[in-house]
Structure 1
């Protein structure tokens, strides 16, 4: 599995209808959109995918639909949960549905290195030999994992085939992880891609983040791997104002969904309650950012 992690593993949104119900047909159009714009794989049921607002049954429906439409492209399913039993049950179901692997972050409430190690020992005892992405996202989970602790997890659990590194400063931690890990493990990064050029410079395998214009994320990765570093930075800079605007937690997800709707990827920009709603002024800001992006892209070509 470790050789699979190359390129963009886009963090997929979960489409909802205006009434809050799941919009399964929009999963098809969204999957096509992501793959058409350079995604090597999909990451579903993430924080930005509003996974916490889904029932277990809905989560399974979402995974099944993404897997079916991906037509063989890898699909990683987030299964993080404070209950090891719930995590194990969802893991069994998503793997049976065809997921390539799962992503797991430590649950909030773990306060010591021993508790982190103990939690993951219990997890892997329950889920067995399931390929796993270890997510390090302390600003969401409230759990800070040191590099030695993460290296110990990788050493003890061969199921860990990749790390999603979202601690800040991410570039510095990536370098320290590379030096500490005792076996090859892919490193992917999130944080909405705002530090992507620096992270690629440190040797990551690719981004695992969401953006309304995934072609930028995949394009920057491609240019870096081709040795065209200046061109990669130039491409990234064109999209940076919009990228920063989307980098505003759940409110930024609302912005992203609005743009994905405008681009024909999903039918509705709705977020499930509780979730932010954009104002008329917010929509005007999006209009200006998109207009400036189109102008910059036209000048570049």
Structure 2
């Protein structure tokens, strides 16, 4: 399985002049890999790509590509159209594109599968399909996801169904030949227990090493360690997602001195101080090592 372990979907830090803080982005990328992340994701939802100019998007991609090239780490890039996928051609560091199920249009399951099949056919890199129906408005059943698993050029699934439902159980009871990466941070531990291969987790900007340990523990069958980690990290994720992503994560990273400002761009608004305080408290709570 090519895509396993922890992938950190990087925020886009801004400096005090409002521009992209590229040095801070470089440091965040290296810190995530230093702390055990398998790879990085840029220009996903957490990176606020819709509020970046084309030049800023290219600068973010260039920084991440340089880091991943130097570190021999896989890089996944958010790209949702034929044009943006073609822009990835020639970037050897890019191992896949994170491609969302077509949002807003609600084309039906057959339409979504046909659209993603066409994108995969034309894409210069494999796709990781991002299934997040509470954002896109388009639900995909386990049967539809299995159809996508049979499409050449679709290598993975970022699964963010909003919880554990009947289709989740159906999907994991008979896993398709597809890398399944949990995308609901709060539910990552039960998804790993069911058989997920890893996660693309914005919460892993904070406590990166513990998220790595969580994935490794479930894969090793170390249930006691995994349960203890999973409970603590679920609380942390809930605190980090108390307001629209990535507002609280940015506020915490700024408070910890990792980025120059906590700024986001409209339509996002800065996190409330109470949310930041709650998330910092969750991040600093000591984790007892369970006896095994």
Q: Same fold (TM over 0.5)?
A: yes
2:131 alignment counterpart: 136
Query: What CA deviation, in whole Å up to 9, does each residue of 1:39-75 have, x standing for no partner?
Result: 0011111112212212233222211211111222001
State the superposition RMSD in angstroms.
Answer: 2.3
Written as runs of structure 1 = structure 2, the 5 A alignment for 1:137-286 is 137-155=132-150, 157-170=151-164, 172-178=166-172, 184-191=177-184, 193-211=185-203, 212-250=206-244, 252-286=245-279
Cα distance in 2 for residues equivalent to 1:188 and 1:134: 10
1:202-244 deviation digits (Å, cap 9, x = unpaired): 1111111111222221110111222211111112323433321
SS across alignment from 1:64: helix
Candidates 101, 105, 118, aligned match of 2:100: 105
Answering whether residue 47 of structure 2 is matched by residue 55 of structure 1, we say no
Hey, what's the Cα distance between the residues in 1 that align with 2:159 and 2:256?
A: 29
Residue in structure 1 matched with residue 67 of structure 2 by the alignment = 69
Within 2, Cα distance between the matches of 1:7 and 1:253?
22
CA distance in 2, matches of 1:248, 1:287: 12
Out of 15, 33, 36, which is 1:35 matched to? 33
What runs of 5+ residues in structure 1 fail to find an aligned partner? 81-86
Structure-2 residue corresponding to 1:117? 113
Distance 1:284 1:76 in 2: 31
Counterparts of 2:98 and 2:280, CA distance in 1 = 35
Structure 1 residue matching 2:152: 3-state secondary structure: coil
Q: Give the TM-score normalised by structure 2.
A: 0.88
Q: What per-residue deviation string (whole Å, max 9, x for no partner) do you get for residues 77-99 of structure 1?
A: 1112xxxxxx2222122342331
Listed one character per residue, the Cα deviations across residues 83-136 of structure 1 (whole Å, up to 9, x for unaligned) are: xxxx22221223423311101112220332232133223323432x52110111
Q: Partners in 2 of 1:287 and 1:74 — Cα distance? A: 29
- Name the CA distance, whole Å, in 2 between partners of 1:69 and 1:59: 16
Question: Greater share of helix residues, 1 or 2?
Answer: 1
C-alpha separation in 2, matches of 1:232 and 1:149: 30
Deviation at 1:272, TM superposition (A): 1.8
Q: Which residue of 2 aligns with 1:126?
A: 122
Matched residue, 2:13: 15
Shift of 1:287: 4.8
Distance 1:161 1:269 in 2: 34
In structure 2, list runs of 5 or more residues that go unmatched: none
User: CA shift at 1:20, angstroms?
Assistant: 2.5
